[in-house]
Structure 1
């Protein structure tokens, strides 16, 4: 089975809708990392202090055949057509360990799709 890693750095108010949309599209779960970043626009300052919006990095390990459907779902849920809401990209995964508990669910999906 081939897997891909989908990474989506997004504004924190978009995290839950993105995770919900990804799960509805077939993702089995997500890992969320709090982060901060810089973009094309200057961060706002107030009395010399920089005010930056928090960002979450939402990560999904997906079966290769689910990637397109999940990307489309998180694009809509995250409103990526609006500037500054977030992005998503895919990275190939060479090896995976620790998914044994989910392997039965993966096998059930394959059986349901083809039988």
Structure 2
């Protein structure tokens, strides 16, 4: 059974489609984009002296572990996530997954 990873990126509003398209070019099969609002905006401005937009887009990509690093790196570059206030990204292993058995792109056997 291939290990499945979740890549979660929180990016500035309006950037998710571009970031996801770049991730697809390096192996992502698809993504889910959610909309959110950060709560730490006033604290970030006060302590970091950086403007951080409170409206966010949250990208969730499920992928095989073998593709995870390349997708992660592409999202970091596409979203300019190393620059202050542009977003965050993290990964974690997925367990108890239901609903992807019909997709040929994932080998869950």
Normalising by structure 1, we get a TM-score of 0.77
- Match of 1:88, SS state, is strand
For the pair 1:41 / 2:45, whether they are aligned, the reply is yes
2:49 aligns with: none
Task: Tell whether 2:85 aligns with 1:84.
Answer: yes
Instruction: For 1:57 and 1:64, locate their aligned partners in 2 and report how far apart those are by CA, in whole Å.
Output: 20
Cα deviation, residue 91, structure 1: 1.3
Cα distance in 1, alignment partners of residues 79 and 58 from structure 2: 12
Residue-pair matches, total: 97
**TM-aligned CA deviation for residue 101 of structure 1:** 2.5
Gap runs ≥5 in structure 1: 43-51, 108-115
Work out which of the two has the higher radius of gyration on C-alpha atoms and give 1 or 2: 1
Distance 2:19 2:57 in 1: 11
Give yes or no for the alignment of 1:17 onto 2:18: yes
Structure 2: any 5+ residue segments left out of the alignment? 47-52
CA RMSD of aligned residues (A): 1.5
Larger mean CA deviation between 33-42 and 90-99 belongs to: 33-42
- Distance of 2:106 and 2:60 partners within structure 1: 18
Higher percent of residues as helix: 1
Could you state the TM-score of these two structures normalised by the residue count of structure 2?
0.81
Aligned pairs for 1:1-115 within 5 A: 1-37=2-38, 38-39=40-41, 40-42=44-46, 53-102=54-103, 104-106=104-106
